[in-house]
Chain A
Amino acid sequence: MGEENQFDAIVVGAGPAGLACSYLLAKAGKAVLVIERGDAPGAKNVTGGRIYSYALNLLDKDLVDDVAWERKVSHEEIMIINGKRSITMDYHDPSLTEGDESTQSYTILRAVFDQWMADKAEEMGAMVVCGIRVDDMIQREGKVVGVIAGEDEMYAEIVIAADGVNSLMAQKAGLIPDIKKETVGVGVKEVIDLPAKTIEERFKLSQNEGSARMILGCTQGIHGGGFLYTNRESISLGCVFMPQEIVQHGIQIHDIFQELKMHPAIYRLIQDGETVEYSAHLVSEAGFQGMPARLYKEGLLLVGDSAGLVINTGYSIRGMDLALLSGIAAARAILGETDLSQIGPAYLAELEKICLLPTMRLSVGYNQLLEIPRIYSNYPQLAIGVMQRLYQVDGQIPQNFKKQVMEAINESGLTVWQMLKDGLKGVRSI
């Protein structure tokens, strides 16, 4: 085997999960090798764009002052689209950009953020090797003892699978089957460059302030939604869809996205901007139910997306903060447990302690709610229909409000009975 092919830990994937784990292990003096297939950390990684600071705070308080963020989110927006009409709700809390660093959230760009985290891990002594794809793992007597990349073999006491959604490592270890199509969505995203001043004017932001927007009703009725995040000098705009519904409806993702960009309420925000990046990525959509039954095997831990740790509530997507938490939990388990065979159970205990598993369990309800197909077409249409009637003054005798609402309900194709049932389901699930 030889000294130089042996590490304390090998981390596959330099995303937030892998880097958080490497950072802590290296800080504690472990010999850590991080292997990343991209030419640089974050080179090919896709995210919407918002990370919650509490998770970085938990990783290391000293890091928070120095995070490679774009803007601090102080505007939380929900936008409902139907046809050319739209409703935007903007919750603004200016205090979110100052004071307590542990309850804020930042917009980020992954190429910058992942590189920053990798630099921090390297400062602690981790070795981050990019441009290398891990092809397989080495297993002996049912235990994972190393990884194979090309012709090279590397060994470690523990391997951390941080290789993201549809994890090859988890598949090779037999912890997840090949990709299950009901559990993953497809995300597409563009980064559109605009001067900082233009962004601040269009979104009514002061310097450093940012907005995070979820968009409903922009997916031609299929399960999914849009998002928009303001960066310092660019806008991240994207959509997430369920792929099998795309196929069933015979729609092109590109067309839906193009239509979203051209929507009058969106177009004026991105007008004159230049698209500098177009990307697509899978995103785990099934919450707790989408998690593998086992998150470890002797010699192997699954962290972040490879463990299915994403929560999509419909008004926010949380994946990166959970990735950081699981990386932290993995590091704590590895550092705290001397008996190698007990690291897996210790990891689960840490995931409970750090509140990650309890949070995941709560996500079950949201997923039930988001499975209601009417959320993506009828309800947006209803909301817009009500608004339209509410604000329309045409000199005719106004109808009473109840009647107007009933009209809007009929127009949206919903029935009161259906709405009651959905409402009940909604209340029960969250």
Chain B
Amino acid sequence: MSRIIACYKWVADEADLKINPDMSVDLSKAKGKISDYDKNAIEAAVQMAKITGDEAVTLTYGSKKAKLSLKDALSRGPAEGFWVNSEKAEQADGAASSKALAAAINKIGDYQLIICAEGASDTFARQVGPSVAARLGIPCVSSAIKLEFCENEVKVSRKLENGIEIVAAQLPAVVCILPEINRPPIPGLKAVLDAGKKPTREYKIEELGLVESDLSARTETIEFKAYVMNRKNIVLDGETAADQVKALVGSLKKEGII
């Protein structure tokens, strides 16, 4: 039995963001949550493990705040939760996160499949999955909406702009999934209680053979500002309902929405 590892990020809940009058964003009151699409990644890992008989586990790279995430992650079904604990994670970019995750994946060992979300709900930079694959020297398939195992391969349906591409990749591999892949259920009472009894493992970066400077970000966030979407305030008129609908459809077409 080998492992299917779902990676997730503990992000600030956007519902708690406060926008200051100068458009700067106040994160100080924001609670943490598992990035939305990462819940799909965890669910995908749990589903696959059921089919293949492997063990689904989760992995996160985060500061001490991310400790709260372990129980939440495990209540979604995986057997064990791994956490790379470093304050450096607060300033991480894709390069830094993928380094920490790849090192942890090597340490965990015996993996078949790594599942990431296409992007995190805070930055959506879409870097981590591909970078982890590159660091591990294994294939990476993105935009996945369906996974199937056959022998030593994973068959992935990829959602493209105008169609679906089916790709096979040699295992072990990294797959980046889109939220369409599944609908993660809300964990029930027993699942939450069980989560408290499941094993968790915390890694310090030294245990992974890394030093602080290895995890420095390669990009720097200079500013983080709110964006105001102005309403267009278009009023459509038309005598009959049919006219009004026609005007609406025309307007939406003009805007390139449909």
Contacts and interface: CB of A to CB of B under 8 A. Distances in A.
Interface of A: 4-5, 33, 35, 40, 127, 129, 131-132, 149-152, 154, 276
Given A131-B186, A132-B188, A150-B188, A4 B31 contact: no
A151 B31 contact: no
Nearest to B190: A152
Contacts of B31: 40
Interface residues of B, number: 10
B228 to A, nearest CB: 16
A154 B196 CA distance: 16
B192 interface: yes
Nearest to A148: B189
A129 B186 contact: no
Contacts of A40: 31
A149 B188 contact: yes
B30 interface: no
A150 B186 CA distance: 10
A22 B126 CA distance: 44
B193 interface: yes
A147 B242 CA distance: 54
A152 B188 contact: yes
22 contacts: A5-B190, A33-B193, A40-B31, A127-B193, A127-B196, A129-B189, A131-B186, A131-B187, A131-B192, A132-B188, A132-B189, A132-B192, A149-B188, A150-B188, A150-B189, A151-B188, A152-B188, A152-B189, A152-B190, A154-B189, A154-B190, A276-B18
A149 B189 contact: yes
Contacts of A33: 193
Ranked nearest first, the 3 interchain pairs of A and B with the lowest CB-CB distance are: A152-B189, A149-B189, A152-B190
B196 A35 contact: no
B75 to A, nearest CB: 9
B39 to A, nearest CB: 13
Interface string B150-194: 000000000000000000000000000000000000111110110
Contacts of B18: 276
A129 B193 CA distance: 8
Contacts of B193: 4, 33, 127, 129
B28 to A, nearest CB: 12
B94 to A, nearest CB: 29
Q: Which among A131, A149, A151 has the highest number of chain B CB atoms within 10 Å?
A: A131
A381 B94 CA distance: 66
A5 B188 CA distance: 13
Nearest to A151: B188
A152 B187 CA distance: 11
Given A4-B193, A35-B189, A132-B188, 4 more contacts: A5-B190, A127-B193, A149-B189, A152-B190
A129 B192 CA distance: 7
B76 to A, nearest CB: 12
A4 B196 CA distance: 12
